Structure 1
């Protein structure tokens, strides 16, 4: 009976060792990809800032136009762009995102534009209205795809399919910290007031110079043409940040799993050695007892 128990413990140790090799390999792969994803996220930020600054400059220097993107269209429905992962094994990355979506959408009439396999699966399971299922692989999305998504959203907003568009994603803060949050895309807030806050003192000083700029065919058309570019830049930056966050979460989860596997192996090895020593002691006792009986 003891021998059978020792054999099962030995098989259990072997199984955990195999699992530990897998989790360690996944941790190394995530660490390798994380460096590139972090660089991609950092490179995307200047593009977004330049577009934002351009919109600020136009808004500060022109007061004779109104854009359909800067005012509400009268609809109370929402469209949430949800950026989740393509795979699991990333700790609470996807679960935290979906929990945040439930909190944000509580009591609202909304549709979902899922980006990523897990996001699409979640929307289907909950029977949420889906804008499009075309972008189910977030790791395959490029700048051109982001522009196509932004253009689609702008068209739907002008058609009054929904009155608010928000982006829900995970912001990459550091290797050990990621924050789930949301960003409002449309309608744009009062951009003239927002521009003064964002541009600060420099924006106010540039206000006189901006009045000398002549936009062709008009400032309004230039502004409306830049908005999809601005949204695509914001979307691409959020995708890059989400991908880095997913890899960081997976790396941490696999590291924790590897450590737990090591602890389990140590405990089982200790149990196995004790059982083996008890078995040897019992055999010696039986041999001694038999010798004394003779």
Structure 2
């Protein structure tokens, strides 16, 4: 019985240490979530304004604006192609996951949905191109023989524009060179600290510009050097805002999932400690009762 008491006591001590770790990780994730939500809200102001400007300018240009835009130099990206629809021969997917675990079902929910899309919408691997942000997704696809054209690991908790600029430049170049004909971003959208929703959003070609939303200004502005040149500068920023916004949103959902997972682990540890404490007290009471019985029995034998 003494060994049993020792074993239970050691399990209580180890579980308490584990709960302290999970509680600390919960607090860290909560802090990251607060910062990420603030960054996401601030970024939405910028993204909304860029979309408003692009919508207004494209709505005010002639219908043949795409043909009038000047052709880019050899080392420049032809941004006007970002607005052009063409027959879809190959589709690209940017899949955003975390680099590690301890985030509950965050990664599995994304990867399960992506695999369903690939199975239902494509007949062979030649019909799609995979790009992975996050080590979990990259390793998952490689393990299943799916070629990953580009992977980005170890993205910071609060990603900056510079960190995602390379993948934006890469995807727009691949789109222009007709490596693929449309681009989707797959990620978990942050709803609140307890809920996230899987999303698949088309980023290229840019299709969500609704000219009916164009704002009519009381005073017409003078654009220098011209609307066409300004649009050429705005389109890449708009593409950046779409992809960067999805990454920030996904990171926010990741931090929320991590916080929830660690809270669940801490609560479970407390339940285990309570159960072990009851078991320890019962075992200790049983041991004391047995000792008393042995003492009484020995005293009676001496009489």
Fold similarity call, TM over 0.5: yes
State the secondary structure of the residue aligned to 1:74: coil
Is 1:115 aligned to 2:141, yes or no?
A: no
State the secondary structure of the residue aligned to 1:81: strand
Q: Could you tell me which of 92, 106, 122 is aligned with 2:105?
A: 92
Is 1:167 aligned to 2:172, yes or no?
A: no
Query: Shift in Å at residue 69 of structure 1?
Result: 2.1
Is 1:40 aligned to 2:29, yes or no?
A: no
> Does the CA contact (< 8 Å) of 1:167 and 1:184 recur in 2?
yes
- 1:104-158, CA deviations, whole angstroms, 9 ceiling, x for partnerless residues? 222422111111222222232223222223x212227421232332222111111
Query: 2 CA distance for matches of 1:41 and 1:7?
Result: 50
State the secondary structure of the residue aligned to 1:189: coil
Q: Indicate the residue corresponding to 1:24 in structure 2.
A: 23
* 1:143-162 correspondence to structure 2 within 5 Å: 143-162=161-180
- The 3 A distance-change label for structure 1 pair 112 and 228 is same
State the secondary structure of the residue aligned to 1:124: helix
Query: 2 CA distance for matches of 1:83 and 1:217?
Result: 37
Is 1:253 aligned to 2:252, yes or no?
A: no
- 1:224-271, CA deviations, whole angstroms, 9 ceiling, x for partnerless residues? 442221111122222221111111111111111101101101111101
Query: 2 CA distance for matches of 1:157 and 1:215?
Result: 29
Q: Could you tell me which of 289, 300, 303 is aligned with 1:292?
A: 300
Query: Shift in Å at residue 101 of structure 1?
Result: 1.2
> Does the CA contact (< 8 Å) of 1:100 and 1:181 recur in 2?
no
- Root-mean-square deviation (CA, aligned residues, Å) is 2.1
Query: 2 CA distance for matches of 1:33 and 1:204?
Result: 36
Query: 2 CA distance for matches of 1:278 and 1:190?
Result: 72
* 1:227-246 correspondence to structure 2 within 5 Å: 227-246=235-254
Query: 1 CA distance for matches of 2:237 and 2:204?
Result: 13
Q: Could you tell me which of 180, 184, 197 is aligned with 1:179?
A: 197
- TM-score of the superposition, structure 2-length normalised? 0.86
Q: Indicate the residue corresponding to 1:273 in structure 2.
A: 281
Gaps of 5+ in 2: 67-79
State the secondary structure of the residue aligned to 2:150: coil
State the secondary structure of the residue aligned to 2:148: coil
- 1:70-120, CA deviations, whole angstroms, 9 ceiling, x for partnerless residues? 232333211111111122101111111111211222242211111122222
